[in-house]
Amino acid sequence: MKILVTGGAGFIGSHIVDLYIGLGHEVCIVDDMSHGKEENVNSNAKLYKLDIRDKELYKIFQEEKFDVVCHQAAQISVPHSIDDPFLDADINVMGTLNILECCKKYGVKKVIYPASAAIFGEPQYLPVDEKHPLNMQCGYGVTKHTVEHYLDVYYKLFGIKYTVFRYANVYGPRQDATGEGGVVAIFSEKFLANEAPYIFGDGEQTRDFVYVKDVAKANAEALEGLDNEIFNVSTNVEVSVNDLFNIFNELTSSNLEPVYKEERAGDIKYSYMTYEKISKACGWKPEYSLKEGLDETIAFYKSK
C-alpha cells in the first residue's frame, strides 16, 4: 500500500511510519517540522517538509497517489489552544480540510485519524467507553472532535472510509516532555537527572497510559479494517500519578520524594478508558504492561 503519514516526524507518527515500513508498505511523510525531529524520520520514508495548510499540498497527492492517509499532524498543546484558538483551529480543522479535499480529488480510499481523551472532560462514569457523553474543556478538544464529524461527512458524501482512534495518554520513546500527556517524558528526564519532578495536586489523579508501539499497531489494524467507526485505544488500567512516581523510583533505582504543587485548573481527576470495542472488532489489545513500556522509554532517554 502507498501511505501518507502526516506528522510522521513527530512522536506517535514516527512509530506508525516505522511499523508501516516494517510491514512492507511504501510511506511518505508530510511534516512542517514545527514539532518533529529529523532523527525520528525513518530513512526508508520520503519526507515532504510542508505545512498541512499549504495550498501546494495537492501536488504531493497528485504525484504520489496514496491509498491511505494516516493523519497525525496537529497542534497538540491544550494551553496553546486556549491562548490562540485561531491557530489551533487553523491547523487542526482547516489543515485537516485541506487534506480531506486532496483525498477527495486524488482518490484516497481511507483516512486514519487520532482524536483524544480530551473530548470527554471529567468522566461521568468509568471506564470511559466510546458512547461516553462529550464535554470538551478546551479548544483542542473541540478541534479534535470537529474532525470526527468531517470524516463521517466525507464518507457519506464521497465514500472516503475512515477510522477514528481516541487515544488515552500515549507515552514512549521520542515523546517531547512538553507534549500532551507528556508526564512520562518529563518524569523520565527528571529521574535520570536524579531530580524530583513536580506533581500537581495530591497526585491521586489517575490516567490511562498506553504505550506508543501498541498505538502504532492499532494504526496498522486500521489499514484494512475498522472502517467508519470510532475506537478507544487505551489499556483500561487506572494509574495514579503517585503510583507512576513510585514505579519510576523502582525502575531507575532512585529514592526521590515528590514535590507537590498546587492543582492545575481544569485538570481531570480520574480517567481510564475501555478498549473492549476495538478488541472485539479485530483482537487488538495492549501488549505492553506499564513497566515494560516504561523500561523501554527510560532506556531511550538514557541513550540520548
Residues that are catalytic: 140
Q: Which residues in 14-73 contact ligand NAD (CB under 6 A)?
A: 30-36, 51-53, 72-73
> What are residue 128's DSSP bridge partners?
273
How far, in Å, CA of 239 to CA of 71, rounded? 29
Residue with Cβ nearer ligand NAD (254 or 296): 296
Between vectors from CA 47 to CA 41 and to CA 48, what angle results, nearest 5°? 140
- Which segments of the chain does DSSP mark as H helices, in order? 11-22, 57-64, 78-83, 85-89, 95-105, 139-158, 183-192, 212-221, 241-251, 276-282, 290-303
Q: Which of 96, 137, 169, 252 binds ligand NAD (CB under 6 A)?
A: 169
Asked whether position 139 contacts ligand NAD by CB under 6 A, the answer is no
Question: Distance between terminal CA atoms of the chain?
Answer: 33
How far, in Å, CA of 48 to CA of 27, rounded? 11
Between vectors from CA 241 to CA 137 and to CA 296, what angle results, nearest 5°? 110
Asked whether position 172 contacts ligand NAD by CB under 6 A, the answer is no
Residue with Cβ nearer ligand NAD (43 or 253): 43
Q: Of the ranges 127-135, 175-183, 194-202, 266-274, which one interacts with ligand NAD (CB under 6 A)? A: 175-183
Edge-to-edge strands, sheet with 46-48? 46-48, 26-30, 2-6, 68-71, 110-116, 161-167, 229-233
Asked whether position 286 contacts ligand NAD by CB under 6 A, the answer is no
* Grid cell at residue 58: 495537492
Q: Of the ranges 120-128, 179-187, 238-246, 268-276, which one interacts with ligand NAD (CB under 6 A)? A: 179-187
Residue with Cβ nearer ligand NAD (6 or 252): 6
Asked whether position 278 contacts ligand NAD by CB under 6 A, the answer is no
For residues 209 and 143, the answer to whether their CB atoms sit within 8 Å is: no
Binding string, residues 88-127; x marks residues near ligand NAD by CB under 6 A: ---x---x------------------x-x-----------
Asked whether position 74 contacts ligand NAD by CB under 6 A, the answer is yes
Shortest Cβ distance from residue 49 to ligand NAD (Å)?
A: 9
- Which residues contact ligand NAD by CB under 6 A? 7, 9-13, 30-36, 51-53, 72-76, 91, 95, 114, 116, 144, 167, 169-170, 176, 179-181
